[in-house]
Structure 1
C-alpha cells in the first residue's frame, strides 16, 4: 500500500509542476521517486497510444450517428441534433487529448536525448561511450519514426472535425429535410476521411508498440 501511495504522490506532485510549467522540477520530483526520463517517455507513449485508440473508437461512433441521421424519416430532429452535437464535442475532446499526448511524448523524448547526449562526455571508457552513442543514435531514429507516424495521424484529424463542425452548425439552424440532404452529400467524403484517419492512427499505434518494446528491452 505504501508503494502505491508513493507512486500516486509522485504523479500528483509531478502534475503540479507540469501545470506550473516547471519541467526541470517535474523531472527532479519524478527522479526522487525512481522515475527517470526513459520511464516517463515509455509512460507518455503508452498514454498517447491509448488516446489514439480511444479517438479512433470515438470517430467511428460519430460516423455511425451521422450515417444514421441520413436515414432519418421522422421524429424529434432537435433531439437528433443534440445527440449529434454530443458526438461532435466528444470527438473534439478526443482530438485535443491526442494532440496533448503527442506533445508530451515529443517534449520528454527531446529532453531524454539531450540528457543522453550530454552524458556521453562523462564517460572515461571510450568503449562504453561509443556503445552508448550507437545506442542513442538507434533509439533517436526509432523515436523519429514514431513521432512522424503520430504527427501524420494527427494531421488527419482536422479534416474530419471540420466536416463534423460544419454539419452540426448547419443542422442547428436548419432542422429540416434540406439539412438531412446536406449530410447525405457529405457522408461519402466523411467516411473516406475517417477511414484514412483510423488507418494512420493504427500505424501510429503499431509504431508505439514497437518503440515501447525496444525501449523496455534496452
Structure 2
C-alpha cells in the first residue's frame, strides 16, 4: 500500500511540475497507453465544453432576467448575475486547461509514433503504421482546431458579461438596467455564436472518439 501511494504521489508531482514526457512514460508502465490517454483527454475536453455551454446559457438567462427586472430586490438579482459570471469564468478556464491537456498528450503520442517508424524491418508494416499515423493526425488536427475555434469565442462573451456585472455593481438603479437592455441583443448574438461553435466542437470530439474506438477494434 505504501509503495502504491508513493507511486501515485510521484505521478501527481510529475503532472504538477509539467514533466509531460516522464509522466506519460510512467503512466504507460502502469498500463495506460498514450493512445488511450489521448481519447480520455478528448472526452474530458468535450465534457468541459458541454458544461461551459450550459453555464453560458444559464448566465444569459440570468442576464435577461435582470434586464427584464420589474421590481423587488435588485441587489439579490445582481448577486445571482455575479455568481453566474464567476461560474462562467471558472468553466472557461477548465475548457482551456482540458484543451491544453489534449495537445500535451497528443504531441507525446505523435513524437513517440514517429520515432518508432524507423524500428520496423518490414516495409509493409511501416507503411501501414505511417498511414495510420497520418489518419490519426488529421483527425486530431480537426478536433483541436474545432476546440480552439470555440475557445476563441469565449473571451468576447466573458468580457461583455464582466463589463455589465461591474457596471451594475455600482449602479443598482433603473437607469443602469436600461443600459443593460441596450447590450442584450449583442450579448445574445455572441452567446449564440459561442454555443454554435461549442456544439460543432463537441460533435468533432465525438467523431474523433468514435473513430479511435473503431480503429482499436479492428
Q: Any stretches of 5+ residues in structure 2 without a counterpart?
A: none
Cα distance in structure 2, aligned partners of 1:9 and 1:208: 34
Counterpart in the other structure of 1:143: 140
Normalised by the size of structure 1, how large is the TM-score? 0.93
Question: Which stretch of the first structure deviates more once superposed, 75-84 or 154-163?
Answer: 75-84
Q: How far off its partner does 1:94 sit? A: 0.3
CA contact (8 A) 2:67 2:180 kept: yes
Cα distance in structure 1, aligned partners of 2:213 and 2:6: 24
Alignment length, in residue pairs?
Answer: 213
Superposed CA deviations along residues 93-120 of structure 1, whole A, max 9, x for unmatched, are 0000001001111111111111101100
User: Which residue, 95, 102, 119 being the options, matches 2:99?
Assistant: 102
Verify: 1:37 aligned to 2:25, yes or no. no
CA contact (8 A) 2:60 2:188 kept: yes
Verify: 1:172 aligned to 2:166, yes or no. no
Verify: 1:209 aligned to 2:206, yes or no. yes
Q: How far off its partner does 1:10 sit? A: 7.3
Q: 1:75 to 1:109 in 2, by over 3 A?
A: same
User: Which residue, 178, 194, 198 being the options, matches 1:197?
Assistant: 194
Counterpart in the other structure of 2:51: 54
User: Which residue, 73, 77, 85 being the options, matches 2:74?
Assistant: 77
Q: 1:9 to 1:182 in 2, by over 3 A?
A: farther
SS at match of 1:75: coil
Q: How far off its partner does 1:42 sit? A: 0.6
CA contact (8 A) 2:51 2:91 kept: yes
CA contact (8 A) 1:56 1:198 kept: yes
Q: CA RMSD in A?
A: 1.7
SS at match of 2:70: coil
Verify: 1:118 aligned to 2:115, yes or no. yes
Q: 1:11 to 1:109 in 2, by over 3 A?
A: farther
Counterpart in the other structure of 2:18: 21
Counterpart in the other structure of 2:62: 65
Cα distance in structure 2, aligned partners of 1:53 and 1:66: 20
Q: Any stretches of 5+ residues in structure 1 without a counterpart?
A: none
User: Which residue, 130, 150, 161 being the options, matches 2:158?
Assistant: 161
Cα distance in structure 2, aligned partners of 1:86 and 1:16: 32
Normalised by the size of structure 2, how large is the TM-score? 0.93
Counterpart in the other structure of 2:83: 86
